[in-house]
Amino acid sequence: MPSFSAIVIGGGTNGLACAGRLAAKGCRVVVLEAGAVAGGGAAVREFAPGYFAPALAHTTRGVDARVMAGMALERHGLGFHPALATCVLNAEPLSVMRGKTTGADAAAYAALIAKLSEFARVLAPFRGLTPPRLTSSGNEWGKLARLGLGIRALGKADFREFLRMILINVADVAEDELTDDRLKGLLAFDATLGAWLGPRSPNSLILLLNQLACGPDILVPKGGMAALAAAMVRAAEAAGVVVRCNAAVARVLVTEDRACGVELESGEVLAADKVISAISPRTTFQKLVGPRHLDAGFFSRVQHIRSRGGAAKLHLALTAAPDVPDLQARMVIAPSVRVVEEAFNPVKYGEVPKAPVMEFVVPSAFEGDLASEGHHVLSAIVQFAPHAPKAGLEAARAEMLENTLAVLEAHVPGLRGLVAHAELLMPQDIEARFGMVGGNWHHGELAVEQMLFLRPLREAAQYGTPLPGLYLAGAGSHPGGGINGSAGWNAAGMVLHE
């Protein structure tokens, strides 16, 4: 029986970042990936004959700088295309790029983004922190207090503004600061991207701050999202990590109340001192560990980790380039705050919105090999989609696809005529394919009551779990997901610390 010092379950960006950091410190690590390739949400997939699309994530706000440097990802081939401009599709399209926004509201928008970026800057250090335990005394709260002082250093006026805005809803901010509906819509869309919230919901602005804290720019890696995962695999392997694909874990093995290894679905058993799960915390505890090894109260709270996904993923195989202002920009269709809010309303009741909002990129405009010459691939994140459709998955998917294509056609005339094949992944499909419970791409909603020392649960917020030897390292842990490896890197730090 092969033996490792650590087993990492899940070969997504967080799993690889965690494994890479551990291996660099001399641990013998194996990463077990259920899929045929590592990368999780950052992999690439042939969704129609001859057409390839990013499996789930199609852009990133950049890999965590610590991961980038610690794993020497640049040396292993990771590079990025120039940052993407955002183009708001409308009767009068609007282009938004750092400091180069068009339209009458450009100055107000720039000022607002500058203010929010400043808030994001003081919040960014929280992302690299292991959340303190609520009752621990001394050191950990000291760390937090220091970061708090960093916020106070914004100055009196900005500090007050920060406290006022930290739990505000993004719709109010948009209404207060902007006049152009297109920019208000963009702000509302960006804040609620990947969330199960409408822009009018309190606590929605902090999600935008979190994104800005990951990085100001929207990036596509050279070679596509899969290249990012590939670089991470290479870096991990160079550090001595064994990455095994097609190795789905069936359960975590427990002896004497300690996690001591895993059993694969093939029946194979691997032993290790430490088992680190970079997959969904709910799946980890409910399926891999099971109630027998966990306290009943804890187990019940695990079942209540909210993990509703509100985003669908659309892939279109196009026979020619779509008629958009800039093939290498991120296109956003979110005409106003109200349209974004109304796209969210039906989802609360398990229904499909009439006019969904979305962002899309054309990955084939960056990498020619994703489709044959002259052909293109369009990849869109469409919001909002019900995670538990009342009408049933098939009917909801068909309706969602139709509504989405109708909205797209209205903004990109002639697009439907170019579609050779369309694939729409509803949240349930995303769950089935990527193991993200409820289709939520953060493995648990990124909402204030599930953040920091409450993520995923207070007993497991420091990456350790109530089961000794078992750790969490995925997006379900602080600071959440987003193809940056932060959670995995933090978790490795905690494992090494112990």
Partner 1 sequence: MIYDAVIIGAGHNGLVAACYLAKAGMKVCVVEKNDWVGGAAVSRSLYPGFTYSNCSYVSSLFRPEIMRDLELPKHGLQILPYEGGAVFTEGGGYLGMFRDHDANRREFARHSRHDAEAYDRYSRDVLRFCRFIRPMLMRTPPDPSSFKPRDIAELIWLGRKMGEMSERQMADMVRFWTMSISDFLDEYFEHPVIKAYLAVSAIIGTALGPMSPGSAYVLLHHYMGDVDGNVGAWGFARGGMGSITQALARSLAAAGGEIRNGSGVESVIVKNGHAQGVVLSNGDEVRGKRVISNMDVKRTFLKHVAEDQLPGDFVKRVKAFKIRGSSGKLNIALDSAPVFPALPEGAPNLKGDLHFTDSIEKMERAYDDWKAGHFSRDPFQDVMIPTMIDPTMTPPGKHFMSCFVQYAPPKIEGREWSDADRDAFGQTCLDQIEKYSPGFKNRVLHVEVRTPRELEAEVGLTEGNIFQGELTFDQLLFNRPVPGYAQYRSPIKGLWMCGSSTHPGGGVMGAPGRNAAAQVLREAKLPNRMSDAYAVL
Which residues are near partner 1 by CB under 8 A? 133-135, 152, 156-157, 159-161, 163-169, 172, 176, 197, 200-203, 304, 306, 338, 341-342, 345, 348-349, 447-449, 453-454, 458
Q: Which run of H or E residues covers position 242?
A: strand 242-244
Q: How far is CA 434 from CA 40, 72, 224, 236, 302, in A?
A: 7, 27, 19, 21, 19
CB of 458 to partner 1, least distance (A): 4
- The closest of 476, 463, 498 to 273, measured between CA atoms, is 498
User: Least Å distance between CB 336 and partner 1?
Assistant: 12
The strand pairing partners of 93, in sequence order, are: none
Residue 489 and residue 76: Cα distance in Å, rounded? 18
Given the complex with partner 1, which of 201 and 428 has the nearer CB atom? 201
Closest-CA residue to 56 (of 42, 37, 46): 42
Report which DSSP code applies to 352: -
**SS3 at position 189:** helix
Name which of 197 and 252 has its Cβ closer to partner 1: 197
Nearer to partner 1 by Cβ, of 54 and 131: the residue is 131
Closest approach of partner 1 to the CB of residue 448, in Å: 4
**Distance (Å, whole) CA 486 – CA 498:** 19
Provide the minimum distance between the beta carbon of 225 and partner 1 in the complex, in angstroms, as a whole number: 31
212-237 burial, b at 16+ Cβ within 10 Å, e below that, comes to bbbbebbbbbebbbbbbbbbbbbbbb
Alpha helices in 25-93 (DSSP H): 65-70
* Nearest approach, Cβ of residue 145 and partner 1 (Å): 11
Question: Please, which residue, 36 or 157, has the CB nearer to partner 1?
Answer: 157
State the minimum distance, in angstroms, from the CB of residue 257 to partner 1.
21
Nearer to partner 1 among residue 327 and residue 454 (C-beta):
454
**Shortest separation between residue 172's beta carbon and partner 1, angstroms:** 6
Tokens found for residue 255: 């002896």
Using the minimum distance from each CB to partner 1, give the nearer residue, 160 or 497.
160
Least distance from partner 1 to the Cβ atom of residue 447, Å: 7
CB of 411 to partner 1, least distance (A): 23
**Rg of the chain on CA atoms, in Å:** 22
Give the Cα separation of 472 and 41 in Å (integer).
18
Beta bridge partners of 96: 86
- Is residue 154 within 8 Å of 162, Cβ to Cβ? yes
- Minimal distance in Å, beta carbon 165 to partner 1? 7
Torsion of Cα atoms, 135 then 139 then 142 then 144, to 10°: -70
H helix runs in 96-180, sequence order: 106-127, 139-152, 156-165, 170-177
Give the Cα separation of 101 and 112 in Å (integer). 12
As given in the structure block, the two tokens for residue 346 are 């039906």
* Nearest residue (CB) to partner 1, 13 versus 465: 465
Taking the least distance from each CB to partner 1, the nearer of 72 and 166 is 166
Pair 17, 493: CB distance under 8 Å: no
CA distance linking residue 337 with residue 6, whole number of Å: 47
Q: Which is nearer to partner 1, 299 or 453 (CB)?
A: 453
Residue number, 331 or 451, with CB nearest to partner 1:
451
Output the CA torsion sign for 107, 109, 115, 120.
negative
Q: Which is nearer to partner 1, 100 or 152 (CB)?
A: 152
Q: How far is the CB of 148 from partner 1 (least distance, A)?
A: 10
